Amino acid sequence: GAVVSQHPSRVICKSGTSVKIECRSLDFQATTMFWYRQFPKQSLMLMATSNEGSKATYEQGVEKDKFLINHASLTLSTLTVTSAHPEDSSFYICSARDPSSGGIPYEQYFGPGTRLTVT
């Protein structure tokens, strides 16, 4: 159980265009999802926390108008990188909490990640 998928796994886009990344919880309902970004040889950096039916909470330094997050249902959150630039090229990872899980409190289950390359 507690499987999280992401789509696409890899995407290449041209500078100035927008790209949408989907994060789905496949076998549970996720009231909270998280979006992370990871640059090469660096740690995961939390970008935003997404709660179903409400606006996302962005971390300091993350542009909310550039990284649009929508958590319209209990199984789907999307991250749209608008007007992408080469410096946005990174590995984007989502995670989700399963509130019904009887395991580790507040454990996050991770998607497989999306490699974004902006040319």
Partner 1 sequence: GQNIDQPTEMTATEGAIVQINCTYQTSGFNGLFWYQQHAGEAPTFLSYNVLDGLEEKGRFSSFLSRSKGYSYLLLKELQMKDSASYLCDIMDSNYQLIWGAGTKLIIKP
Q: What minimum distance in Å lies between the beta carbon of 34 and partner 1?
A: 8
**Interface with partner 1 by CB under 8 A: which range of 14-22, 71-79, 81-89, 111-119?**
111-119
Give the span between the Cα atoms of 17 and 118, in whole angstroms. 9
Is 17 near partner 1 (CB under 8 A)?
Answer: no
Nearest residue (CB) to partner 1, 76 versus 82? 76
Closest to 46 measured CA to CA, from 115, 87, 95: 95
Q: What minimum distance in Å lies between the beta carbon of 75 and partner 1?
A: 18
Region 69-98 residues binding partner 1, contact defined as CB under 8 A = 91, 93
Give the span between the Cα atoms of 28 and 5, in whole angstroms. 12
Characterize 15-40 residue by residue with b for buried, 16 or more Cβ atoms within 10 angstroms of its Cβ, and e for exposed.
eeeebebbbbbeebebbbbbbbbeee
Q: What minimum distance in Å lies between the beta carbon of 31 and partner 1?
A: 13
Residue type, 116: L
Give the span between the Cα atoms of 29 and 74, in whole angstroms. 5
**Interface with partner 1 by CB under 8 A: which range of 14-22, 40-48, 68-76, 80-88?**
40-48
Is 112 near partner 1 (CB under 8 A)?
Answer: yes
Residue ranges binding partner 1 (CB under 8 A)? 42-46, 49, 91, 93, 104-108, 110-113, 115
